[in-house]
Structure 1
Amino acid sequence: METLFRRLLRLMPRLGLHVTDLGPGTAVVSRRGGRARIPVDQGADLLVRNVDRYSVTGAGKDMWVVQGTKPGKAPEPSGGWTGVRLGDTGAHLLLNDHASADERRFQLAAGAYLCSQHVAAMLEAYRVNCVFDVGANAGQYGKRLRRFGYTGRIVSFEPTSDAFARLERAAKDDPDWQVCHFGLGREDAMMSIHTGWNSMNSLLPPSDYGRGRYKRFARTQTEEIEIRRLDEVMEKALDGITGPRPYLKMDTQGYDLEVFAGAGERIADFVGLQSEVAALRLYEGSPGMAEAIAVYERSGFGISGMYPVTREETTGRVVEFDCVMMRADAAPAKG
């Protein structure tokens, strides 16, 4: 005798619904696009809209990759993906056959992700409620902070006109993201910045090494910009925050130590910082990595993470690192 459940299943297609019967007492009903079951292991099925457009590849114990393919294209061969267990964290890295084809690009992409994840973790652990984003360009850093879960205030500084216009657009719908159309440095001044170098605009000229590495340095334009001291803008930036715990991110193409110097004694207010330090100098007069880190350490900051930003293709040498540093005595007590 046919059950009421089965009769309902037979009726649903007449109403324009698609039914995928999964077994006694279980079915999936969808409004459009027929579904199909792909068994992947005992007790495990995948439900896909069109079986001909998907391939399933094992990626380790209890893991499968479902990959969409273009109509008529053969599915990817089994074994094209590998699941790499990341210690005992419970996380797995899924790699396909293309990941090892460009080791440099893969490492830099992984480093960028790990740096963002680490910064987000430090902001939470140190209860940061205001990030000073110095050298904001078009707002890439602020948007990344939001994607990784930071919800506190962001104050971004970008002196060049074109980049600032894009920064304003990036922040316009975020009520706790302030933008400032000037740069930061050791002294209040009007200065000339090299532009036309995309995200590498700098107050410093390129070094011989930089000119050899980047063709964009061969031609340049300049723009007059305003420079202010960090300690003079902190009160306004932190206004309304109870118990401010600021974090300083600097990415100013060789000018980070000048920004740092402009904080004066108020650098002690920051619980952490992030600076792009140079193993190989792209800009004339910029500090080397050891010099920059030594200055930060003398002010009480200690390294919590180092992540390569750029690397030479031929030699493998790192050109610049993102250096994350925290003030240990500012870490909130556990418990």
Structure 2
Amino acid sequence: MQTPYRRLLRLMPRIGVQVTDIAPGTALVSRSATPLSVTGADKGTWIVRRTKGGVAQAPGATAVRLGETGAVLFVDAAAGRDERALQLAAAEYLCTQHVAAMLALYEANCVFDVGANSGQYARRLRRLGYAGRIVSFEPTSETFAKLEKAAAQDPDWHVYRCGLGREETTAEIHTGWKTMNSLLGPSDYGKDRYGRFNRSETEEIRIRRLDEVMDEALDGLSDPRPYLKMDTQGYDLEVFAGAGKRVEEFVGMQSEVAVLRLYEGSPGMGEAVATYEAAGFGITGMYPVTREATTGRVIEFDCVLMRAEATPKQ
């Protein structure tokens, strides 16, 4: 049932005030005559929230102008005190926004989502407007069930219960590490950082080669322009190797590269980036995924790379 507060907000545009609903109890209100989004505010705009006494200007919110774009970022005082969490959340958003822009620029029509977990990456792409095919791979039974449920109402989101690697085989994957399940064991650094690495169960999974599944995944696309996203907890180069010569078909890619290694035997950032560049990809963005709270050092980056020669001819 709609509250009187919400009914009042719906009436405000009739008296020259624009309202953007942000969340329950929170709205963006402006005198501007043009409709606004959350990032399109100007000097005539306030952040307001519902309080026991009615509607009041939100205390402690800082407006940060984003260069010359005209966009404004509103930062709550409490959120701003946790610099690390704020930076990582912003990096995640900016990375996905950048990927969505590159998918549009290169006219990509199929995203290979390797290491999909429960579908977080795919859902973010959909929210930012990507409407093409998504093919997600997740090998563990419990997490795959969540992924399958997430994709059930999206007819162009296909899911596969398997891992990808250098060869067709079966292997034991460490489970119980939440979003960090890996085919590799933890490094000494990883054990010191994450207590979850000190306990582990395993599950036998199927591993396939990327080049072996591509025809099936791309079936029905008249002019396939695939993009490869990998987040496999230290196993990305093995996935990449499994593409063989068909890696040349990808217009771009994304890989989680490690500065500080969490997994035994995983490649460092330099080795990974050199491999991707040797295959014809060039970096378009680097975004921190995790940072040490005590030192500020970045542990892993999301590295976005595109194949410049694949840019559609203007």
TM-score (normalised: structure 1)? 0.82
Q: Distance in 2 between matches of 1:140 and 1:222?
A: 23
The alpha-carbon distance between structure 1 residues 67 and 31, as it changes in their structure 2 partners (threshold 3 A), is closer
Counterpart of 1:264 in structure 2 is 244
Counterpart of 1:325 in structure 2 is 305
Pick from 207, 211, 223 the counterpart of residue 227 of structure 1: 207
Amino acid in the other structure paired with 1:68: R
Counterpart of 2:196 in structure 1 is 216
SS of structure 1 residue aligned to 2:78 = coil
Counterpart of 1:243 in structure 2 is 223
SS of structure 1 residue aligned to 2:280 = coil
The alpha-carbon distance between structure 1 residues 180 and 312, as it changes in their structure 2 partners (threshold 3 A), is same
Q: Distance in 2 between matches of 1:31 and 1:162?
A: 39
Counterpart of 2:186 in structure 1 is 206
Q: What is the deviation of 1:81?
A: 2.0
Q: What is the deviation of 1:145?
A: 1.1
Counterpart of 2:34 in structure 1 is none
Matching of residue 149 in structure 1 with residue 129 in structure 2: yes
The alpha-carbon distance between structure 1 residues 230 and 95, as it changes in their structure 2 partners (threshold 3 A), is same
Counterpart of 1:274 in structure 2 is 254
Cα contact 2:48–2:55 (8 A) shared by 1: no
Q: What is the deviation of 1:82?
A: 2.2
Q: What is the deviation of 1:99?
A: 3.0
Matching of residue 167 in structure 1 with residue 147 in structure 2: yes
Q: Distance in 2 between matches of 1:329 and 1:55?
A: 44
Amino acid in the other structure paired with 1:316: G
Q: What is the deviation of 1:77?
A: 6.7
Amino acid in the other structure paired with 1:279: V
Amino acid in the other structure paired with 1:193: I
Matching of residue 67 in structure 1 with residue 13 in structure 2: no
Matching of residue 96 in structure 1 with residue 97 in structure 2: no
1:181-200 alignment runs, 5 A limit:
181-200=161-180
SS of structure 1 residue aligned to 2:265 = coil
Deviation >3 Å, runs of 4+: 30-36, 43-48, 53-60, 72-78
- Structure 1: segments with no counterpart, 5+ residues: 1-29
Larger Rg: 1
Amino acid in the other structure paired with 2:88: L
Cα contact 1:311–1:317 (8 A) shared by 2: yes
Cα contact 1:57–1:64 (8 A) shared by 2: yes
Cα contact 1:55–1:76 (8 A) shared by 2: no
Amino acid in the other structure paired with 1:249: K
Deviation track 1:207-263 (CA, whole Å, cap 9, x = no partner) reads 000000000001000000000100011001001101100000000000000000000
Counterpart of 2:36 in structure 1 is none
Counterpart of 1:107 in structure 2 is 87
Q: What is the deviation of 1:73?
A: 8.7
How many residues matched? 295
Matching of residue 311 in structure 1 with residue 261 in structure 2: no
Q: Distance in 1 between matches of 2:196 and 2:215?
A: 38
- Structure 2: segments with no counterpart, 5+ residues: 31-40
Q: What is the deviation of 1:195?
A: 0.4
Q: Distance in 1 between matches of 2:249 and 2:112?
A: 12
Matching of residue 81 in structure 1 with residue 93 in structure 2: no
Cα contact 1:55–1:75 (8 A) shared by 2: no
Matching of residue 135 in structure 1 with residue 120 in structure 2: no
> Taking every aligned residue pair, what percent have the same amino acid on both sides?
64
Q: What is the deviation of 1:63?
A: 1.7
